[in-house]
Amino acid sequence: MRRILLTLYRVRGPLYGVTALILVAVAFTSGISLGDGARQVRNIVAVISVGVLTVCVLLVFIGPRLIPTREAVAISAPVSGRWLSMNSPATKVPSHGIRLYGQAYAIDLVHEPDDTARPTFGSGSAMRPAREYPAFGEPVFAMIDGVVVRATDWRRDHRARSSGLAIAYMLIEGAVRELGGPGFILGNHVTIRGANGNFATVAHLEQGSVAVKVGETVRAGTRIARCGNSGNSSEPHVHAQLMDRASPWTAQGLPMLFVDVVLDDGGPLAALPGTGQHMIAAVPRG
């Protein structure tokens, strides 16, 4: 029974998406005159879909209790220089509010070479050009040794959502992106499979910047792309996560910590900064 529940928990994302689309289709056809047989089929489909959605919601609460506890895996930071941590698992889990797409322990990193370099939220344009942010175009590095299993960079870099109204727009935009699956949420991204079966993903990369191909072997510290603002992103930043499977649809997030970073409070050389905390990462030697 435990294995069945874990399997259902892994596929809850696709199940939820498919049944939600089915219910939307049922709602659109509710005003169309149908024969008795077709109407009965539609009603049965609607009842089953509601049941599946209910199971998916229950799994959100049950699933995390079934997942075994894992020790944090030490990996290389995907960036170099001074970066601000946002949505960090060192502060809360799940770090982004949900466990879908393997992002229970994901972290967002915003480049701040100094405290005045990054545009202030709410000042200037509601949707600033991505190039106004110091993170845009910064090199992104492989976090582990391994083989590239996903590499995509065709999605555009959109403007930042740099005001309250723009963030509200982003929430609606994000709901639409969900219909396209995790690729449209992550934007341009690279996933690397390590020898131990872990999968490291960096996301929101700059369009056309990915420098590796699927099947290529890389070492931790290898430059693989540049930071962008693609996918469901409010401003240019690097989204990093470690997973137990390649597909974000079914992967569970894994805890991680960065090696060779110094925290702004003088913390250890192997750590993960909390939300609102800066870290300085060494230049990779991959």
Tokens of 239: 């989204």
In the prediction, which pLDDT does 206 show?
A: 98
In the prediction, which pLDDT does 31 show?
A: 67
Q: Which of 25, 50, 66 is the last residue of a domain?
A: 66
In the prediction, which pLDDT does 267 show?
A: 67
Exposed, middle or buried, 33 (CB in 10 Å: 0-12/13-18/19+)?
Answer: exposed
In the prediction, which pLDDT does 211 show?
A: 98
Residue 192 lies in a domain: yes
In the prediction, which pLDDT does 193 show?
A: 98
- If asked whether residues 90 and 181 sit together in one domain, one would say yes
Total of domains in the chain: 2
- If asked whether residues 9 and 135 sit together in one domain, one would say no
Tokens of 97: 């509010």
Q: What is the mean pLDDT of each run of 10 residues along the chain (286 residues)?
A: 77 80 79 72 85 83 79 95 95 93 96 86 83 96 98 96 87 82 93 96 98 97 97 96 94 93 75 92 76
In the prediction, which pLDDT does 243 show?
A: 97
pTM of the model: 0.87
Q: Which of 19, 51, 66 is the last residue of a domain?
A: 66
Residue 242 lies in a domain: yes
CATH of the domain at 133: 2.70.70.10
Q: Which domain holds residue 124?
A: 73-281
What's the Cα-to-Cα distance from 175 to each of 115, 139, 231, rounded to whole Å?
33, 29, 12
- If asked whether residues 124 and 266 sit together in one domain, one would say yes
In the prediction, which pLDDT does 164 show?
A: 86
- If asked whether residues 190 and 100 sit together in one domain, one would say yes
Residue 286 lies in a domain: no
Q: Which of 42, 66, 90 is the last residue of a domain?
A: 66
Residue 135 lies in a domain: yes
Residue 117 lies in a domain: yes
